[in-house]
Amino acid sequence: MPTFLFDSIVFGPVRSRRLGVSLGINLLPADRKVCSFNCIYCECGWTTCTTGTSGSLPLRSEVREALRKKLSEMKARGEKPDVITYAGNGEPTLHPDFSGIIDDSIALRDELFPEARISVLSNGSAIHRKPVREALMRVDMNIQKLDSALASTRERLNQPNNRYDYEEFKRWLVEFKGRFIIQTLFVRGSYQGEVIDNTTPEEIEAWLAELASLRPASVMIYTIERDTPLDNELKKVPLSDLKAIAARVTQLGIPVSVSG
């Protein structure tokens, strides 16, 4: 089915199901997706590059000026973002100047919209890099992906490249000392003839055990909303099922939000 790419550094603001009025920042090329994962549900389509190539990524100065321009325009119009979100056409932490860009965004936020939060949507594949971890510690919402606690399901859903080590990812999460949010997309369907369902009892029990161990500040659960790279092979999980899963998270004493 049709998917899309963000064609500019700054996009929106948009009404996010999970974040409110969100001004998006794309640190990746406008003409292709760059990611360390190849998630079968990604609204940006299939991954074509796993790293940014020289000259293909926006410069730190370009990001800073694009964000300043947009925030200034919003202020002049009396518009107010709830959150400035680093997402875009793939994995934002792959940008080599990610740490400095976060510093710039914090300074601009403090100057123009001090009540706005800064969030990063990440798959965690780059948190082994110290500058990335330190930058994530400075943002308000460090949102890390965990679609399944079972290796076989992660392989089918996320299709990470060979550099991703899940056990290492969990070890680095400990360094955040609970200052992170877990985001999980639940989906059902099939891919390459295999059943896809990360809502089975086995899946949920394993996922809850990981949450109990990791103790994130909160959990965000949702399901697909837009087109995916697959043609009608993936299905939304009903809101009632998501709420039932959320109730199990609440029993762990962890705040949870649901977007159906």
pLDDT of residue 3: 62
Query: What is the β-pairing status of strands 10-16 and 20-26?
Result: antiparallel
Q: Coil, helix or strand for 101?
A: helix
Q: What is the pLDDT of residues 90-135, one digit of tens each?
A: 999 999 999 999 999 999 999 999 999 999 999 999 999 999 999 9
User: 2: Cβ–Cβ under 8 A, 6 or more apart, which residues?
Assistant: 227
Q: CB of 147 within 8 A of CB of 184?
A: yes
Q: What is the pLDDT of residues 169-213, one digit of tens each?
A: 999 999 999 999 999 999 999 999 999 999 999 999 999 999 999
The domains of the chain are located at: 10-259
Whether domain 10-259 has CATH 3.20.20.70: yes
SS3 content of the chain, % helix, strand, coil (to 5): 35, 25, 40
